Structure 1
Amino acid sequence: MTLHSKIQGTLAMAAIGDAMGAATENLSFDQIRTLFGSEVTDFKKPGETAFALGSEAGQVTDDFSQIYFLCNEILKNDGSLTKDTVIKAMLAWSDVPMYFDRFAGPTTRSAIAMYKDPSLKMKPLPGAVTVDYASKATNGAAMKIAPAGILHPNDIEGAIEAAITIAQVTHDNSLAISGACAVAVATSVSLAPHATINDVLSAGFYGAVRGETLAKEVSREVAGPNVVDRIQLAYTIVNGVGTKEDKLRQLSQIVGSGLHISEAVPCAFGIVALNKENVLQAVIDAVNIGYDTDTIATIVGSMVGAFIDLSDPQFHSLFETVQLANDFNLVQLANSLADVVGFHERKQC
């Protein structure tokens, strides 16, 4: 597979996971199966339990839309990722009511308010759970981090540096950065020509460790469950006894699949580890894990999308639907990103 096709798969599977998970978000593991009669394997129109109520089947939420805006802003900046690039992308994203008004979490909402009016930094913000946006270790740091890996294929340290740049704009703390680096490195390694899922999992774990270490130097340490330890817990569950269904339930109930970075990212790693031979099923399992399903499915899609068979009929149908529902051309976006990456690599030679 070429870099172009791998990036296309990464974007596609992140978008598919987000849009499919929009209908199952906020439901428990068992509620999903009761409400839909079985696991969800295609796009559904979100119902009353979902934040995406009012969206059509196949439309994405905040998760992939932030990836999309970041990628486009990076391209406008000739492939360069800076803090200003990230801020511009987030501000442009916040100007789209269908994304910001309905989906923006408290941490992201507070950060954007501060960038629009710096005087708000130390004032309570409507809808925010804290006056200090940077102290919240939520999964918004990891859901949008795929561009850090895409810009640095098979370049672990480059992906980590880029992930820190992106995360610090909205989630400037040790736990959020650790989770963001884990996913960024996993995405980066997935783009290597002969990568395997095992490579992705081991490199991602290193990313979590390295990200936490660096974050304590450049950011701030915050209280909360440790991302590294929780990834290890997820792997313990995956390698334990029981059926796959049993293990997915344990990931949901023991590791957790919610808003905190130390739930969402370790849960995603566990789901990937359970689906080394079928990356589309990994995203489907994330959609059906319960709670913050759209975010976890976006993260899983970012980590393993590079391995998808672009000719697979089921994937092709989902891919065409998600592009049409959101007016995206992800093939063109992937090609543009791959061209920019290739240009920068040639300049460095």
Structure 2
Amino acid sequence: MNLQEKISGTLGAAAIGDAMGAATENLSFDQIRHEFGGTVKTFEKPKETAFAIGNDAGQVTDDFSQIYYLCQAILKNEGVLTKDIVIQAILDWSNEPWYFDRFAGPTTRSAVAMYKDPSKKMQPLAGAATVDYASKATNGAAMKIAPAGILFPDNIEKAMEAAITITQVTHDNSLAVSGACAVAAATSVSLATNATMTDVLSAGAYGAARGETLGKIKSREVAGPSVAKRIGLSFEIAAGPGSKEEKLRRLSQIIGSGLHISEAVPCAFGIVALNQDDALQAVIDAVNIGYDTDTVATITGSMVGALINTDDPHFISLFDAVQKANQFDLVELAKSLAVLADKP
């Protein structure tokens, strides 16, 4: 595949993961299998348990919509990515009530409020600790980080620099930077001509460790489990005993798949490690892992979408459906991004 096709796969898999996971979000590993009579492999209309209730089958949520807005901002600025450009992209996204009012996470919501009114950044009560948006190590940094890898294909260091620029706008802390760098590095390497799943996993592990160091230097250190070490633990689970289903259950129970960056990102890497021969199945397994499924599946899709066989009839069907449901032209978007990508 050429770069345009690989970027199209990245965008498509991230959008598919978000839209498919929107129906399973907030359900546990077992509840998903009970509610849907097995694992979900196609688009379902979200029910009352999901934040996306009101969406039609195949519609995306905040996860991919933020990727989309960031990609549009990159195109508008001819491939240039700065903090101001990211801020404007996030503010433009926040002005779309369908996405922001219904889906915005707590950290992103706080950051947007601060950019719209700087006086809202810190307003501690007398005698209380000052805690602002930047100290919250939630997974919103990693879910939207695909453009950093797309802009710098097969260039881990530059992809991580871009990831830090994006992350610091909404999640300015060491753990969020680590998680975002892990996903950006994996996405960047996935776009290399002869990339393999092993390359993606290795790049992600490096990105998490390097991002943790850079996060403590360039951002602010916050308390919480190491993303890098939990990625290592997810690899141990994937390589351990038991069936694939048993290992997926362990990932959901031990690593977790929730809002914290130290759950969602390591969980996604563990899922990828369990699907080294089938990138699309990795996205589907993420949809069925439980809890914050749309985010974990968006992250997974971002990392492995470039390795999906785009001739796979199942992928083609899902790709066409997600484009139609959201009125996206991901093929044209990929074409434009491929022209601007900073190739090593």
**What is the TM-score of this pair, normalised by structure 2?**
0.97
- Deviating above 2 A after TM superposition, structure 1's stretches of 4 or more consecutive aligned residues are none
Give, in angstroms, the shift of residue 308 of structure 1. Answer: 1.1
1:279-312 deviation per Cα after TM superposition (whole angstroms, max 9, x unaligned): 1100000000000000000000000000111111
Partner of 1:127 in structure 2? none
Distance 1:305 1:4 in 2: 12
Partner of 1:195 in structure 2? 195
Of the structure 1 ranges 306-315 and 291-300, higher mean CA displacement relative to structure 2 is found in 306-315
1:95-133 deviation per Cα after TM superposition (whole angstroms, max 9, x unaligned): 011100000011000000111111111137xxxxx8500
Distance 1:308 1:195 in 2: 11
1:204-253 deviation per Cα after TM superposition (whole angstroms, max 9, x unaligned): 10000111101111111000011011001101101110000000000000
Equivalent pair of 1:19/1:60 in contact (CA under 8 Å): yes
The alignment status of 1:285 with 2:285, answered yes or no, reads yes
1:127-163 deviation per Cα after TM superposition (whole angstroms, max 9, x unaligned): xxx8500000000010000000000000010011000
Partner of 2:176 in structure 1? 176
Partner SS, residue 26 of structure 2: coil
Distance 1:155 1:196 in 2: 15
Distance 2:243 2:62 in 1: 33
Distance 2:77 2:303 in 1: 25
1:150-194 deviation per Cα after TM superposition (whole angstroms, max 9, x unaligned): 000000100110000000000000000000000000000000001
Code of the aligned partner of 1:112 = V
Partner of 1:17 in structure 2? 17
Partner SS, residue 328 of structure 1: coil
Matches within 5 A, 1:44-123: 44-123=44-123
Segments of 5+ residues of structure 1 without an aligned counterpart are 125-129
Partner of 1:309 in structure 2? 309
Partner of 1:272 in structure 2? 272
Distance 1:297 1:97 in 2: 23
Distance 1:5 1:118 in 2: 41
Partner SS, residue 229 of structure 1: helix
Matches within 5 A, 1:217-228: 217-228=217-228
Distance 1:307 1:217 in 2: 33
Partner SS, residue 195 of structure 1: coil
Segments of 5+ residues of structure 2 without an aligned counterpart are 125-129
1:51-100 deviation per Cα after TM superposition (whole angstroms, max 9, x unaligned): 00000000000000000000001100111010011101100000011100
Equivalent pair of 1:190/1:196 in contact (CA under 8 Å): yes
Equivalent pair of 1:114/1:120 in contact (CA under 8 Å): yes
Code of the aligned partner of 1:299 = I
Distance 1:119 1:254 in 2: 40
Distance 1:230 1:70 in 2: 28
The alignment status of 1:330 with 2:330, answered yes or no, reads yes
Distance 1:214 1:42 in 2: 39
Distance 2:38 2:171 in 1: 36
The alignment status of 1:155 with 2:155, answered yes or no, reads yes
Distance 1:105 1:238 in 2: 29
- Matched-pair identity in %: 74
Partner SS, residue 259 of structure 1: coil
Distance 1:53 1:215 in 2: 36
**What is the TM-score of this pair, normalised by structure 1?**
0.96
Partner of 1:244 in structure 2? 244
Partner of 1:321 in structure 2? 321
